[in-house]
Amino acid sequence: MNYDLVVCGVGGQGVLTMAGVIDHAIHDAGLQLKQSEVHGMAQRGGAVSAYVRISDHAVASDLIAQGGASMVLSVEPMEALRYTALLDAEGWIVTDITPMVNVDNYPPLDALYKVLFSVPRLVALDAARLAQRAGSIKVQNTVVLGAAAMHLPFESSLIEKQLERLFHRKGERIVKANINAFRMGDAASRFASVLVAAGVASDIVARVVPRIAFDPEPVAPACVAAWCARLLRPDAHVLAAQLFASEDSVATDAIPAL
């Protein structure tokens, strides 16, 4: 088994904290890893990334070849696009859609989303909004980590264990916010994956999922089925565009009509 992961974002978003939590979970799973980091510009606004290579045998190199990554995990949408050349044909991008405009020529959001949302295997979520729902905007990166969990080659409970270990000294409230954030991200990812598997167009999924107010538990199967049916209708593109443009949150059991 080999699994190559790119974790990326900008300084101040907790990219290397995410990588560290994943590293410890990999160790607890009995797997081997090798990691490289780019954090020389880790002041707020500078690009930060980590390559995490996971295997059930010794890993020789810490570099990921073009077309070799199973996932690009990003806390910033433009940073996610930087690494698409590394993604393999069946790979996933998991990313927050909340931009951090850190350069003068940051692309217009409409153009950025048009490219990003064309990716066939994408979990796009409004991690900032879900973090606030979980109890703290500071757990934004944990939401994204939760959205990646189902695609990683070990049990997600190992990541929860590491989150509890990492934050227990900060008190029960912080631990609870991180666990809730992680489970909300996981719920969003599982929901998106079912929609994709059901044949819902990727750009529709990418516009709908960020507008859903996920709870820290899986969406009820009946609700998922109802969303699938609604988003397979001919007018689903119109609905998705309206939802995304409105920026209003929608409950998981409130499937909107036009």
CB 135 within 8 A of CB 180: yes
Residue 99 has pLDDT above 70, yes or no: yes
Residue 84 φ/ψ, nearest 5 degrees: -65, -30
The 3 state secondary structure assigned to 192-208 is: HHHHHHCCCCHHHHHHH
Write down how long the chain is. Answer: 258
DSSP letter for 119, please.
-
Residue 237 has pLDDT above 80, yes or no: yes
**pTM exceeds 0.85, yes or no:** yes
pLDDT at 256: 83
Strand 47-55 with 2-10, pairing = antiparallel
Locate the domains of the chain by residue range. 2-186
Signed CA dihedral, 142, 147, 149, 152: sign only? negative
- 108-150 pLDDT, tens digit per residue, is 999 999 999 999 999 999 999 999 999 889 999 999 999 999 9
Average pLDDT over the chain reads 91
3-state secondary structure of 94: strand
Residue 183 has pLDDT above 90, yes or no: yes
Amino acid at 129: R
210 Cβ contact partners less than 8 Å away, ≥ 6 residues apart: 97, 124, 125, 126, 129, 244
CB 44 within 8 A of CB 12: yes
3-state secondary structure of 43: coil
Which pLDDT band holds residue 64 (cuts at 50, 70, 90)?
confident
Residue 216 has pLDDT above 90, yes or no: yes
For the CA atoms of 248, 120, 13, 69, the dihedral, rounded to the nearest 10 degrees, stands at: 170
pLDDT at 158: 95
What percentage of residues in the chain have a pLDDT greater than 70? 97
80 Cβ contact partners less than 8 Å away, ≥ 6 residues apart: 8, 72, 74, 93, 95, 116
Which pLDDT band holds residue 240 (cuts at 50, 70, 90)?
very high
Can you name the CATH fold of 2-186? Pyruvate-ferredoxin Oxidoreductase; domain 3 (3.40.920)
pLDDT at 40: 53
pLDDT at 58: 79
Mean pLDDT throughout 210-229? Answer: 96
Q: Hey, which bits of 102-177 come out as E strands? A: 122-125
Residue 48 has pLDDT above 90, yes or no: no
